[in-house]
């Protein structure tokens, strides 16, 4: 079967994307430099800048500064969607969803030495992600979320566990509706990382929430 047959993608790199840690720990997803700086200062080491639906020219300066900030803190900073800018400014990594994969140059991202995270929501998307051999695979959405309109139903914990077990060699990230009270149950499914937006950015006390999440996720024996 050709690459296009298996993945729907025109061209894949010949080797896997660069590896990253198996357990990426707490993985906040934020949309401003202010949040990035706050959370890096709070001890977060894996983080994503997710700005939606802007022109590249409107976000280039922010993405450049974000990448500099990530390097200053020696953090694993993934840039969501804007893969050209991430390559141009030498990001640690890029996060792409299934739709993004259709319009991205995976060979260029690979050639530039950036890590790649890929979103999945079901078995078919998981098979496509595995064929790309990315640095990590995200599994969502686990629970209902207010942060993003989702076309599919939440996969829930049983599916998460099954999906994680099917890709034992990959770093995995669970995302979607994960509040502090759900963290232990999500970790019990074997994931190496938990990505959150509202559990931090909508918390009454973000510093307390971040400290609690860090302690629950990073100190857990896996
Ligand atoms: C860690 C992580 N997982 C999933 C996503 C969602 O990516 P995508 O499906 O491309 O949707 P947008 O975030 O671009 O709206 C993510 N960003 N991060
Ligand atoms: C950006 C994103 N992607 C998802 C996916 O399932 O692919 S769920 C999601 C939003 C996560 O926000 P919160 O932690 O507030 O639910
Ligand atoms: Mg995307």
**pLDDT tens digits, residue range 165-184?**
999 999 999 999 999 999 99
Residues in the chain: 222
pLDDT of residue 222: 59
| Positive or negative: CA dihedral 109, 110, 114, 120 | positive
- The predicted pLDDT at position 3 comes to 47
Cα Rg of the chain, angstroms: 16
Q: Which of 50, 53, 199 to mutate to test the pocket of ligand 1 (most atoms within 8 A of CB)?
A: 50
Contact (Cβ atoms closer than 8 angstroms) between residue 44 and residue 36: no
Q: Is 183 annotated as a binding residue?
A: no
Residues of the chain with pLDDT under 70: 1-7, 10, 221-222
- Model-level pTM greater than 0.90? yes
Ligand 1, atom 4, lies closest to the CA of: 119
| Binding-site residues, ligand 2, Cβ < 6 A | 29, 119, 140-141, 145, 147-148, 175-178, 196-199
Nearest-atom number in ligand 1 for the CA of 173 is: 1
Which two three-digit tokens encode residue 132? Answer: 């790309």
Rounded distance from Cα 139 to ligand 1 centre (Å): 10
Q: What is the pLDDT of residue 2?
A: 43
Please tell me the distance from the alpha carbon of residue 141 to that of residue 154, in angstroms, as a whole number. 5
Question: Ligand 3: distance of its center to the CA of 80 in Å?
Answer: 6
Could you report the predicted ipTM of this complex, rounded to two decimals? Answer: 0.99
pLDDT in the model for residue 8: 77
- Reference 16, options 129, 172, 139, 173; nearest CA is 129
67 is in an annotated binding site: no
Whether 100 lines ligand 1, by a CB cut-off of 6 Å, is yes
- Which of the listed residues 78, 119, 154, 217 should we mutate to test ligand 1's pocket, taking the one with most ligand atoms within 8 A of CB? 119
67, 146, 208, 171: CA torsion to nearest 10: -50
Q: Collapsing DSSP states into helix, strand and coil, what is residue 135? A: coil
Strands (E), the chain: 25-30, 46-49, 76-80, 93-96, 115-120, 136-139, 172-175, 193-196
Cα–Cα distance measured from residue 113 to residue 94, given in angstroms and rounded to the nearest whole number: 11
Residue minimizing CA distance to atom 8 of ligand 1: 97
Ligand nearest to the CA of 118: 1
Alpha carbon distance 129, 8 (integer Å): 11
Ligand 1 mean position to 179 CA, how many Å?
Answer: 17
């Amino acid at each position: 079967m050709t690459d296009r047959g298996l993945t729907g993608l025109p061209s894949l790199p010949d080797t896997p994307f660069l590896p990253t840690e198996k357990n990426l720990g707490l993985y906040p997803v934020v949309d401003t430099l202010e949040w990035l700086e706050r959370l890096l200062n709070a001890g977060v080491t894996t983080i994503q800048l997710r700005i939606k639906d802007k022109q590249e020219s409107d976000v280039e300066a922010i993405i450049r500064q974000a990448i500099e900030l990530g390097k200053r803190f020696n953090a694993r900073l993934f840039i969501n969607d804007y893969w050209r800018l991430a390559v141009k400014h030498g990001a640690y990594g890029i996060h792409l969803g299934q739709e993004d994969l259709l319009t991205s140059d995976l060979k260029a991202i690979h050639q530039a030495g950036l890590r790649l995270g890929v979103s999945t929501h079901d078995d078919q998307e998981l098979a496509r992600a595995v064929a790309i051999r990315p640095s990590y695979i995200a599994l969502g959405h686990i629970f209902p979320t207010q942060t993003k309109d989702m076309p599919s139903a939440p996969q829930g914990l049983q599916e998460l566990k099954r999906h994680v077990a099917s890709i034992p060699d990959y770093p995995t990230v669970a995302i979607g509706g994960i509040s502090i009270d759900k963290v232990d149950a999500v970790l019990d499914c074997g994931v190496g990382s938990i990505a959150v937006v509202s559990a931090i950015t909508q918390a009454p006390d973000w510093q307390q929430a971040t400290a609690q999440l860090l302690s629950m996720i990073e100190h857990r024996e896996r």
